[in-house]
Amino acid sequence: MLALIRAEAHADIGSDHAKLPIRLIQSGRAGRCVVVELNPGPLELARRNVTRARLEGHIEVRAGDGFAPLAPGEVDSASVSGMGAGTVAGILRRAGERLPPALVVQPNDSPWPVRVWAREQGYHLAAERLIPGYWPYPVLRLERRDGPDPVYADAGLPLNAALRYGPHLLREGSGVLRGQVQADLTRLTPLAAPGRTAQTELETARAAWDLLQP
Ligand SMILES: C[S@@+](CC[C@H](N)C(=O)[O-])C[C@H]1O[C@@H](n2cnc3c(N)ncnc32)[C@H](O)[C@@H]1O
C-alpha cells in the first residue's frame, strides 16, 4: 500500500493501530496524516502508537465514522484498508464532498463493488497490485479524472472479468492472479448451476482465465 501513496496530507480511514500513517510519515511519503477510527479500542491503540512513535506533531487521531471527521479539501489522498469491499464502498459512498482526489483502497474480498463505485463516481483506476498473503490482497489506487475510465475501453476485455479481477492486473497476468483465478475455477465448478450466483462467478473466472492464456 505504502508504494501507492504519496501526499502532502493523507487520511487513513479505519486505521486501527495507525501503522500505515506512522510508516507514511517515517518514510517521507506523507507530510501530515489524519487517522480516523470509529471504535474506542482501536482509537486508543492508534493514539498510543502515534505517541510512542513521537509523531503527534505529524499525525492527528480523530474519532468518527468514515470521512465525517474531515473537512472538504483537507487532505489530498486517503486510504481505506482491511475491510470487506462492501464496507469500503459504503464508506466511499457516504463521503460526498469530503472525498479527496486520490484514494488507495485494499478490500479483503473481491474489489468488484469498489471498481463499480469508482466507474460511476469519476475515479479512474490509476494502478492496481495483487499482494500475495494468506489470500491475495488487492490494492487499488483511484484518481479523480474527467470522462470514462479508458482502462475499461478495450473491446477485448470483458467487463465482468475486469470488474472482478482488475483490468490492469489481467493485462499484467501475474502468477498471483493466475493462482487466484485457478482457485476460483476449482471452488466454483462444483457449485455452479443455471440461475445460481456461482454460475455467473464461474463464467467470470473462465473469461479471466481465457484472457490469461499466452
Ligand atoms: C480490520 S481493521 C483494518 C485496520 C487497518 N486499516 C489495516 O488495514 O490493517 C478495520 C478498522 O476499521 C475500523 N472501522 C470500521 N468501520 C469504520 C468506519 N465506518 N469509520 C472508521 N473506522 C471504521 C474498525 O474499528 C477497525 O479498527
Parse the chain into domains and list their residue ranges. Answer: 2-150, 154-214
- E strand segments, 14-150: 30-37, 59-63, 77-83, 102-107, 123-131, 137-144
According to the model, what pLDDT value does residue 55 have? 98
Mean pLDDT over all residues of the chain? 97
For ligand 1, the distance from its centroid to the CA atom of residue 83, given in whole angstroms, is: 7
Q: Is the CB of 49 under 6 A from ligand 1?
A: no
For ligand 1, the distance from its centroid to the CA atom of residue 81, given in whole angstroms, is: 7
**Position 97 confidence tier, pLDDT thresholds 50, 70, 90:** very high
Residue nearest (by alpha carbon) to ligand 1 atom 8: 82
Residue nearest (by alpha carbon) to ligand 1 atom 5: 15
> Which of 2, 19, 83 to mutate to test ligand 1, by most ligand atoms within 8 A of the CB atom?
83
Which is the closest atom of ligand 1 to the Cα of 12? Answer: 6
The predicted-structure confidence for 142-153, as pLDDT tens digits, reads as follows 999 999 999 999
Q: Pairing state of beta strands 77-83 and 59-63?
A: unpaired
Distance CA 88, CA 80 (A): 7
Residue nearest (by alpha carbon) to ligand 1 atom 12: 14
Q: Is the CB of 90 under 6 A from ligand 1?
A: no
For residue 134, what is the DSSP state? S
What grid cell was written down for 154? 478495450
* Mean pLDDT on 12-25: 98
Distance CA 58, CA 34 (A): 8
Q: Class of the 154-214 domain?
A: mainly alpha
Q: Is the CB of 66 under 6 A from ligand 1?
A: yes
* Mean pLDDT on 111-123: 97
CA torsion sign for 114, 118, 121, 123 is positive
Whether 154-214 and 2-150 are alike in CATH topology: the answer is: no
**Position 86 confidence tier, pLDDT thresholds 50, 70, 90:** very high
Which is the closest atom of ligand 1 to the Cα of 82? Answer: 8
Say if residue 45's pLDDT is above 90. Answer: yes
Q: Is the CB of 138 under 6 A from ligand 1?
A: no
Q: Class of the 2-150 domain?
A: alpha beta
For ligand 1, the distance from its centroid to the CA atom of residue 62, given in whole angstroms, is: 13
Q: Is the CB of 154 under 6 A from ligand 1?
A: no
